Amino acid sequence: MQLLCKLKKEKKPDQVVFNTETGRYEANIKPYATDLVAPVITSTDSIAWKTNNINKVNKHIQAKYNELKSEYDKMMEQYEYNNLVYSASFNFEPVVGENYHLYIRENDSTFLSIISPEECNFNHIGSFYLDADGIWHKIKI
């Protein structure tokens, strides 16, 4: 009789989630509903969310990369033009804000001149503008 009372005392109802090994009630930590009136627990579809965000982030990074690459290409082009103009020979001090013209001689040496291509018959490479920072900018004439 005493054994039967002890078993009844230890036996919990089915809806009570009790772990006999730890001696704790664990309904609140289960990944599933433990009662008939409990809300249904469904896992969210994180794969679609991840895929959408991966695509968004990749497009954003690709667009930023393309912008930076375009800026880099412009900067390298300007660097090459500056090297070309500064390595050319000229016997005057260029004035900031003025346009100058770069020509190539028959011996492949370059020279800078104030004479425009319409006024001479030299082999014209390009026309350049000197800004206040001492940077040459290619211009179209």
Task: Report pLDDT for 1.
Answer: 46
Beta-strand relationship, 123-130 and 99-104: antiparallel
CA 129 to CA 100: how far, in whole Å? Answer: 6
One digit per residue, the tens of pLDDT, for the chain of length 141 reads 454 444 445 666 555 677 778 878 887 777 777 777 777 767 777 888 899 999 999 999 999 999 999 999 999 999 999 999 999 999 999 999 999 999 999 898 999 999 999 998 899 999 999 999 999 999 987
The answer to whether the beta carbons of residues 81 and 138 sit under 8 Å apart is: yes
- In three-state secondary structure terms, 36 is coil
pTM tops 0.75, yes or no: no
